Amino acid sequence: MVVHIKNSVAFQLGALRRGFKDGSLDEDVVENIDETHFVVDFDNGKTLGFSGEKQIMYADVVSGGQGMTMVVRLSGGASSQIPPPMIIFMNAEGKPIRGVKENVPGVCYGTSKKGWMTLYREYLNEKNGNKGRPRGRKKTVFLDNCSGHLEADECREELDAINSDLKFSPPNATDLCQPADSFVIAKIKDAWNMKWN
Average pLDDT estimate for 156-166: 88
Judge whether residue 18 has pLDDT over 50: yes
Residue percentage of the chain with pLDDT more than 70:
66
Torsion of CA 9, 15, 21, 25, to 10 degrees: -100
Please indicate whether residue 57 or residue 179 has the higher confidence score (pLDDT): 179
Write the DSSP symbol of residue 81: B
**Which pLDDT value is given to residue 21?**
94
CB-based contact 9:177 (threshold 8 Å)? yes
3-7, 65-69, 141-145, range with the lowest pLDDT: 65-69
**Which pLDDT value is given to residue 187?**
78
Q: Say if pTM beats, i.e. exceeds, 0.75.
A: no
What's the Cα-to-Cα distance from 6 to each of 12, 24, 174, 177, rounded to whole Å?
A: 10, 24, 11, 10
Q: Which domains does the chain have, with CATH numbers?
A: 28-196 (3.30.420)
Q: Which residues pair with 70 in a beta bridge?
A: 36, 87
Distance CA 116, CA 46 (A): 25
- pLDDT-derived band at 61 (thresholds 50, 70, 90) equals very low
Judge whether residue 96 has pLDDT over 80: no
Residues 6+ apart with CB under 8 A from 193: none
Judge whether residue 144 has pLDDT over 70: yes
Q: Indicate the average pLDDT of the chain.
A: 74
Buried b (16+ CB within 10 A) or exposed e, 144-162: beeeebbeeeebeebbeeb
